[in-house]
Structure 1
Amino acid sequence: MTPRPPMTLDRLDTLLDAWGADPARWPAAERDAALALVAASAEARTRQAAAARLDAALALPDPPGASMRLRRAVLDGIPVPRPGLAARLRGLLQPLGGWRMAGPAFAASLALGVAFGSFVPKQETAVDEDALVQFAQLDNRYQDFLP
């Protein structure tokens, strides 16, 4: 069996990080050397005390909750996503029954528009502009604006 190198502060840090500050949890092969280092070095005792504080904090049943002010600050900092085109279309079509109902309705209206446009005869006659303006205005109150 090869002898173990002497315990160093780096190796003690590794033990503390892996198994915590309680020497009973440290590997038996290294426990005596680590305890000797802790007894001899003030720096090693400081590091073990810091690990013990961390162990105590991790052993708490529930972490302390955030204050309402902190929660509000975090929630206010979250950007609100703007809905994309698909989501806006979905919102418009939802009252109509969604795509399953709106799609066929759109297709039917398009087909009717094309069919109606094909049955209307084309008019090749000249249009009297004065009559068109009067027809557009639908009354005689605007005679001042006629050409």
Structure 2
Amino acid sequence: MTPERLSRLLAAYGSRPDRWPADERDAAMYLMAQEPGAQERAREEQALDALLARHRVPVPHAALVGRTLAAFAPTSGLSVLRSWWARLTLAGAAMAGLAAGVLTLDVQHAHMANRQMLALSDDQDTIFATLDAGEVTP
């Protein structure tokens, strides 16, 4: 455990050791007991944890919730049609992305297979002659 790793643990999980990854907890606690700088960093995180624990998100007003839900609810056949087209467009874009990814992987795989075949044939005898690495041109 390094002081840098302990700082990352404190920043990511807070000052409570029970929130830290179990496999790093003992080493982090040992480092905190030995290093004054680590103890100061832990106190800073405790102050931040206390501040975050005091913060409360207010419950939204019922009228706001109603207006928000109404804004997204389909109100006519036209909005249902638009929703249908949006879903179809999204599905088409997803399929195009999938096809592009498969094509890219296929081309890359063919290129790598060709390179491996050339590497395997370097300096090997064939029924025609002995191949040297300089004779093979990719």
Q: TM-score, normalised by structure 2?
A: 0.40
Q: TM-score, normalised by structure 1?
A: 0.37
For the pair shown, the structure with the greater C-alpha radius of gyration is 1
